[in-house]
Chains A and B, each alone.
Chain A
Amino acid sequence: MNDKKTLFINNIEVEYTDEKTVLEVIRNNGFDVPTFCHRPDLTQYGACRMCIIEQDGKWIQASCTMPPREGIRVETNSTKVRKIRKTILELLLANHKRECLTCEKSGNCELQKYATEYGITDIRFPKLEEKDYAVVDDSNPSLVRDSSKCILCGACVRACSEFQGHSVLGFANRGSNTVVQPMNGRCLSDVDCVYCGQCQAVCPTGAISIKSAIDKVWDVINDKTKKVVVQFAPAVRVALGEEFNLEAGENTIGKIYAAARRLGFDLIFDTNFSADLTIMEEGNEFVKRLTKGEKLPLFTSCCPAWVRYLETQHPDLLGHLSTCKSPQGMLSPVVKEFLPKYYEGYKKEDIVVVSVMPCTAKKYEATREQLKGETDLVLTTQEFARMIKTAGINFKNLKDEEANSPFGKYSGAATIFGASGGVAEAAVRSAYYIVTGEELTNIDFVEMRGVDATSRTKDAIVDIKGTKVKVRVVSTLKEAEKSIQELKAGKSDFHILEVMACPGGCVNGGGQPTSCLDATIKEKRAKGLYTEDKNLAIRKSHKNPDVLKLYEECLGSIGGEKAHHLLHTTYSDKFKGSYKDIK
């Protein structure tokens, strides 16, 4: 596999080994060509034709779908290909809603970027008639679709089908009338979209963007009658720095706290604290089910896209879902309920909880019937970065600060929630203690780790004093569906099913800074989390002193009445019908 072969790029001989496409060879050797539809984690598509190269001075080929061959001469920048690329850009722009200055994606838009790089100053083609099917769909809490900005690269369609196996988005019509839309042109809220936002994450333009809560957050910050607290999800800390030219995976949580204070938030908490709290409750719930042997496997409930998927597709399995709220969902009511106890002048009704999440589905979660009024506003990592930029805060040079007590401390087990496998690993670390009363010594469950495309289903067996607990860790709903089918067919015997809808987990969430061009970014972010876990003195949730204090001073017992009231939730059947029912 690893024998080295060579080919020529722009007359320079380069080596290649197991690269599947010429595009990979080009990019691995310090060259580049533009792409819109190519996404390393999605299947090859070959539609935008921007990555064309000239082979052997004769043929024009799309490098993203062309396997490398020994000795070929590839020109990435010949007059011919440059001319074609320029024409393609002009064609796309002719048909594009060119209101770049007011576009959500401005500055982060690949079409804009290449138009600038290729010096498109004049578009020779007139804008043809408005598409009458061009719609702005902001019907849901998470995402906004504007089809007049769509360049039909098909990345969202592939993401929806290849990650989530769900195909909420598809193509309709033919020729220049082609459009991406949910079934029958419905809006996203009217179909079973889980709001994971992966379509947004892979979209090269502003056709799919995050529904912004920035203005509302500014409003509450500036409202003197409100006490605004903010919480940060685990995966945010290893991605936000990318927006400020820091390395992917660099843990900037100290700077994030500092930035939040400078933005005017009154108190800074950490969702990691409630991740530990989640483990206490969920670990307890799991051990109960395990001893009784009922409702197994236990499905994790941290991921709102997964929860919605079960509610809409498999309501018969809702009993398996842990009744624990997600860490976001736990911290907000705890803050509102108990903060007045610790901080003078805080009244429950004046407290506004803002959360910063790597996730667009969290915006939806906050609006769930069962959780209404708890988390008030949800920002994604992207939005929070924009607020820092708006406020003119020099993020890179900020000195690290600490979160506020009593909801700011966390264990290593909490921080790895941000990577696929982290929740299960954290749960096992504590479940062992709950069952046996003894502490695990080796707490690194490497078989549950890994966020690349080959690690979307991981199995591990944990021996809890003779009881073999089988853990299945899954990322993407497409993989989850396989486990569900196994389960329904009676072919599986795992005890815990951890599901994260985004490939690789929250580090690669739909609200994170764009990472779809480089498949290794999510691995770097995950590494950042596991490094923090390793370096923390406390690495098990049940050792978090502040969590223990919370039970002691406020909640009472684990799984007790108060805890049940504040930390657990219910689910509802949202099944609309299956395609199999369509006659």
Chain B
Amino acid sequence: MEKVKLNIDIKKEQEKALEMMKQQGERILVCTSTGCSANGSLEIIEKFKELGANVGTLTKEVKMTAVPTGCIGFCAEGVLVVIPDKHLTYVRVKLTDVEEIFESLKNDTIVERLLYVDPAIKQSIKKSEDINFYAKQTRTALANCGHIDPESIDEAVAVGAYQALAKVIEENDQEAVIKEVEDSGLRGRGGGGFATGRKWRSVYKHRGGKSYVICNGDEGDPGAFMDRSLMEADPHKLLEGMAIAAYAVGSDEGYIYVRAEYPLAIKRLRLAIKAAEERNLLGKNIMGSDFSFHIHIKEGAGAFVCGESSALIASIEGERGMPRPKNIHMAECGLFKRPTLLNNVETFANVPLIILKGAKWFSAMGTEGSKGTKTFALTGEVNNTGLIEVPMNTTLRQIVFDLGGGIRNGKKFKAVQIGGPSGGCLTEEHLDMPMDYDQLTKVGAMVGSGGLVVMNEDTCIVEVARFFMNFTQHESCGKCTPCREGTKQMLSILERIVKGQGKMEDLDLLQELGEVIKTGSLCGLGKSAPNPVLSTLKYFKDEYIAHIKDKKCPAGVCSALKSFEIQEDLCKGCTKCARNCPVGAIEGTIKEPHKINQEKCIKCGACISNCPFKAIVTK
């Protein structure tokens, strides 16, 4: 292939950008992701500026710049302030701490009290890279997240953005790009795990006419925020990945479908598109070549089902977001009936590095069938919640206990819900299983988009199943019968069980309905909707039976199954509980131990919160 001459030397642009960054002096990175900004990070940046950062009034030696960044990852410890040159990470920073940090930077000292304290060793960690949460990660897709200002294209270029795009346009070989992606073994990070290269090739096969590249940013799983963080923290990486894909399959128009609940992501993507078009890194005749690529943002209205590819396409077309039968492949007939390539945010974000570093570098990470790294949103009852990225051969144990720092408050690990409402439950027996696509599918779970909710012994598994079923039931589009009607019945059965009104036959009915919905539904939402119930039924049947037969919730969560009791030895007969009981269920004379009439008790918990002697317990 004859090389294409570009009118932009991206490497030179990078040098220029790096030089500009050097002028900033000491960079103070302040996380401005949605979570940290809710905790006041924007005010923190303003305070730094007020004190003299950014404006250049300080002497040359102490010049510093407060940089708003995307998600730095360690969300549990936000607001995070990172000083990369000094390898410092300050956690839980408040507005009142800013002056002290500012002074310490001027004097080259450390604010010890703001350092992260590892709960396991009870010592503060001086260097960022020694914090377990970061040390155990391999950040590739998230490499720049938290390190650059997502609203500055210069900072993106400084860390290498658009070099991979320049490379593919220059080398002028679409097939080679697809081959590289195929060889990398990259699989769709949106949940299905379909081979990305194969998908690209099938769209490439239908090249010639108009075709589209769509990025699925409709991350809707409760507890998942990987794609959001990526879009907020490094939007140019996504744009570059999409542009490379468009180049490879011969498309000139793309859509990013983002939920409207992600206003910051939308804002930053819009800014990024505009900046890239102004620099001629996107848009018409990119870098002086024949290749043009325009990206639109389509705001979704927050329907979970719109993350399903065909519903997403219907939504872009202006129709109701309902999945369509997939007898004709999207690669042939997708958006506006044209060949369409659809990948999710993280998938596209992996592409630039695969092009730059090569398929071999990528496929060296991970397992036989699942290459590379995967981002997860680690949430729930784990010490270190946040955004992580690990190779796909990492085990659940490493994630929960090494990275995650174990279960909060020394409680016992019970299970992990992976893949959101479409995923399944993993238990202790799966702790040493690598988190790859095939292994997870085998045990009835799925990578999904990558939400990891860690649960401890205080979590009622039946209630968890009910919660997710409630979610899918409300988010079902209502099109196909098994999903629409079946999930409703499953939900009503689960509601009966947590209220203590379940019957043993209900378990068989749940199982049967679950299988009917799984096999009979139209789209992925329905086909995976019963997973949380089926996998918990498999691993925690005892708990279901306890709810039904013994009318007990072993975790003590389901209030209808709780009984409130006054411990006689602790009760001083102060009558406070009796006075606060709204239904008059507590009887007893003053200075004598009281008793709760179980028939009257409505289990509201008012007695517990009012007892000064902690004499009331639930059983």
Q: Are A94 and B489 in touch, CB under 8 angstroms? A: yes
Nearest A residue (CB) for B488: A176
Contact bitstring B506-517, A, C-beta under 8 A = 1, else 0: 000100110010
Q: Are A126 and B492 in touch, CB under 8 angstroms? A: yes
Given A88-B516, A91-B486, do A151 and B478 touch, yes or no (CB 8 Å)? Answer: no
Contact bitstring B293-313, A, C-beta under 8 A = 1, else 0: 000000000010100000000
The answer to whether the Cβ of B485 comes within 8 Å of any Cβ in the partner chain is yes
Q: Are A49 and B520 in touch, CB under 8 angstroms? A: yes
Q: Are A170 and B478 in touch, CB under 8 angstroms? A: no
The answer to whether the Cβ of A421 comes within 8 Å of any Cβ in the partner chain is no
The answer to whether the Cβ of A488 comes within 8 Å of any Cβ in the partner chain is no
Given A44-B327, A175-B476, do A128 and B481 touch, yes or no (CB 8 Å)? Answer: no
Contact bitstring A109-132, B, C-beta under 8 A = 1, else 0: 000000000000000111010000
Q: Are A91 and B520 in touch, CB under 8 angstroms? A: no
Contact of B488 among A50, A152, A171, A175 (CB under 8 A): A175
The answer to whether the Cβ of A67 comes within 8 Å of any Cβ in the partner chain is yes
Nearest A residue (CB) for B472: A175
Q: Are A178 and B482 in touch, CB under 8 angstroms? A: no
Q: Are B516 and A176 in touch, CB under 8 angstroms? A: no
Instruction: State A95–B513 Cα separation when bound (angstroms).
Output: 15
Q: Are A176 and B484 in touch, CB under 8 angstroms? A: yes
Q: Are A176 and B478 in touch, CB under 8 angstroms? A: yes
Q: Are B325 and A152 in touch, CB under 8 angstroms? A: no
The answer to whether the Cβ of A173 comes within 8 Å of any Cβ in the partner chain is yes
Within 8 A of B (CB), among A72-96: 80, 83-84, 87-88, 91-92, 94-95
Binds B, one of A58-66, A320-328, A556-564: A58-66
Contact bitstring B471-513, A, C-beta under 8 A = 1, else 0: 0011111111110111111001000000000000000010011
Q: Are A175 and B520 in touch, CB under 8 angstroms? A: no
Instruction: State A64–B327 Cα separation when bound (angstroms).
Output: 10
Q: Are A128 and B482 in touch, CB under 8 angstroms? A: no
Q: How far is the CB of B517 from chain A (nearest CB, A)?
A: 9
With a cutoff of 8 Å between Cβ atoms, the chain A residues found around residue B487 in the complex are 175-176
Q: How far is the CB of A203 from chain B (nearest CB, A)?
A: 16
With a cutoff of 8 Å between Cβ atoms, the chain B residues found around residue A126 in the complex are 492
Q: How far is the CB of B116 from chain A (nearest CB, A)?
A: 43
Nearest A residue (CB) for B321: A174
Instruction: State A25–B450 Cα separation when bound (angstroms).
Output: 42
Within 8 A of B (CB), among A120-164: 124-126, 128, 151-152, 154
The answer to whether the Cβ of B322 comes within 8 Å of any Cβ in the partner chain is yes
Given A62-B522, A128-B492, do A87 and B478 touch, yes or no (CB 8 Å)? Answer: no
The answer to whether the Cβ of A214 comes within 8 Å of any Cβ in the partner chain is no
Most buried by A among B305, B322, B478, B522: B478
The answer to whether the Cβ of B320 comes within 8 Å of any Cβ in the partner chain is yes
With a cutoff of 8 Å between Cβ atoms, the chain A residues found around residue B481 in the complex are 47-50, 88, 91-92, 151-152
Q: Are A84 and B478 in touch, CB under 8 angstroms? A: no
The answer to whether the Cβ of A177 comes within 8 Å of any Cβ in the partner chain is yes
The answer to whether the Cβ of A46 comes within 8 Å of any Cβ in the partner chain is yes
Q: Are B327 and A176 in touch, CB under 8 angstroms? A: no
Within 8 A of B (CB), among A202-257: none
Contact of A46 among B485, B486, B522 (CB under 8 A): B522
Nearest B residue (CB) for A80: B519
Q: How far is the CB of A97 from chain B (nearest CB, A)?
A: 15
The answer to whether the Cβ of B521 comes within 8 Å of any Cβ in the partner chain is yes
Nearest B residue (CB) for A126: B492
Q: How far is the CB of B545 from chain A (nearest CB, A)?
A: 20
Instruction: State A124–B474 Cα separation when bound (angstroms).
Output: 22
Instruction: State A452–B441 Cα separation when bound (angstroms).
Output: 47
Instruction: State A21–B478 Cα separation when bound (angstroms).
Output: 24
The answer to whether the Cβ of A45 comes within 8 Å of any Cβ in the partner chain is yes
Q: Are B320 and A62 in touch, CB under 8 angstroms? A: no
Q: How far is the CB of A268 from chain B (nearest CB, A)?
A: 46
The answer to whether the Cβ of A426 comes within 8 Å of any Cβ in the partner chain is no
Q: How far is the CB of A179 from chain B (nearest CB, A)?
A: 8
The answer to whether the Cβ of A52 comes within 8 Å of any Cβ in the partner chain is yes
Q: Are B474 and A175 in touch, CB under 8 angstroms? A: yes
Q: Are B489 and A154 in touch, CB under 8 angstroms? A: no
Within 8 A of B (CB), among A25-75: 44-50, 52, 60, 62, 64-67
With a cutoff of 8 Å between Cβ atoms, the chain B residues found around residue A175 in the complex are 473-478, 484, 487-488
With a cutoff of 8 Å between Cβ atoms, the chain A residues found around residue B475 in the complex are 174-175
Q: Are A52 and B520 in touch, CB under 8 angstroms? A: yes
Contact of B489 among A47, A65, A125 (CB under 8 A): A125
> Interface size class for chain A?
35 or more
Q: How far is the CB of B297 from chain A (nearest CB, A)?
A: 22
Q: Are B479 and A84 in touch, CB under 8 angstroms? A: no
Q: Are B478 and A65 in touch, CB under 8 angstroms? A: no
Q: Are B509 and A124 in touch, CB under 8 angstroms? A: yes
With a cutoff of 8 Å between Cβ atoms, the chain B residues found around residue A173 in the complex are 478
Instruction: State A403–B438 Cα separation when bound (angstroms).
Output: 76
Q: Are B327 and A174 in touch, CB under 8 angstroms? A: no
Given A92-B485, A176-B473, do A48 and B516 touch, yes or no (CB 8 Å)? Answer: no
Instruction: State A359–B219 Cα separation when bound (angstroms).
Output: 48
Most buried by B among A49, A66, A88, A128: A49
Nearest A residue (CB) for B320: A171
Q: How far is the CB of A63 from chain B (nearest CB, A)?
A: 10
Instruction: State A231–B326 Cα separation when bound (angstroms).
Output: 49
Contact of A170 among B320, B324, B479 (CB under 8 A): B320
Nearest B residue (CB) for A87: B516
With a cutoff of 8 Å between Cβ atoms, the chain B residues found around residue A95 in the complex are 485, 488
Instruction: State A60–B519 Cα separation when bound (angstroms).
Output: 6
Q: How far is the CB of A213 from chain B (nearest CB, A)?
A: 34
Most buried by A among B305, B325, B487: B325
Instruction: State A175–B473 Cα separation when bound (angstroms).
Output: 6
Most buried by A among B484, B488, B513: B484
Q: How far is the CB of B315 from chain A (nearest CB, A)?
A: 13
Q: How far is the CB of A18 from chain B (nearest CB, A)?
A: 15
Q: Are A47 and B480 in touch, CB under 8 angstroms? A: yes
Q: Are B325 and A84 in touch, CB under 8 angstroms? A: no
Nearest B residue (CB) for A157: B320
With a cutoff of 8 Å between Cβ atoms, the chain A residues found around residue B325 in the complex are 44-46, 62, 64-65
Most buried by A among B322, B474, B485: B485
Instruction: State A154–B512 Cα separation when bound (angstroms).
Output: 26
Q: Are A176 and B485 in touch, CB under 8 angstroms? A: yes
Nearest A residue (CB) for B326: A65
Q: How far is the CB of A287 from chain B (nearest CB, A)?
A: 45
Contact bitstring B122-157, A, C-beta under 8 A = 1, else 0: 000000000000000000000000000000000000
Instruction: State A581–B317 Cα separation when bound (angstroms).
Output: 20
Contact bitstring A431-473, B, C-beta under 8 A = 1, else 0: 0000000000000000000000000000000000000000000
Contact of A88 among B326, B327, B482, B522 (CB under 8 A): B482
Given A46-B522, A47-B522, A171-B320, do A67 and B474 touch, yes or no (CB 8 Å)? Answer: no
With a cutoff of 8 Å between Cβ atoms, the chain A residues found around residue B480 in the complex are 46-49
Within 8 A of A (CB), among B312-341: 320, 322, 324-327
Q: Are B488 and A174 in touch, CB under 8 angstroms? A: no
Instruction: State A177–B482 Cα separation when bound (angstroms).
Output: 14
Q: Are B516 and A177 in touch, CB under 8 angstroms? A: no
Q: How far is the CB of A127 from chain B (nearest CB, A)?
A: 10
Instruction: State A65–B487 Cα separation when bound (angstroms).
Output: 23
Instruction: State A493–B375 Cα separation when bound (angstroms).
Output: 63
Please list the residues of chain A having a beta carbon within 8 angstroms of any beta carbon in chain B: 21, 44-50, 52, 60, 62, 64-67, 80, 83-84, 87-88, 91-92, 94-95, 124-126, 128, 151-152, 154, 170-171, 173-178
A-B contact list, 8 entries, CB within 8 Å: A87-B520, A126-B492, A128-B488, A151-B481, A174-B476, A175-B477, A175-B478, A176-B488
Please list the residues of chain B having a beta carbon within 8 angstroms of any beta carbon in chain A: 303, 305, 320, 322, 324-327, 473-482, 484-489, 492, 509, 512-513, 516, 519-522
8 closest A-B pairs by CB: A178-B478, A65-B325, A91-B485, A46-B325, A176-B488, A175-B476, A60-B519, A87-B516
Q: A126-B492, A176-B473, A176-B476 are in contact. List 9 more A-B contacts (CB 8 A).
A: A47-B479, A88-B516, A92-B485, A95-B485, A171-B478, A175-B484, A175-B488, A177-B478, A178-B477
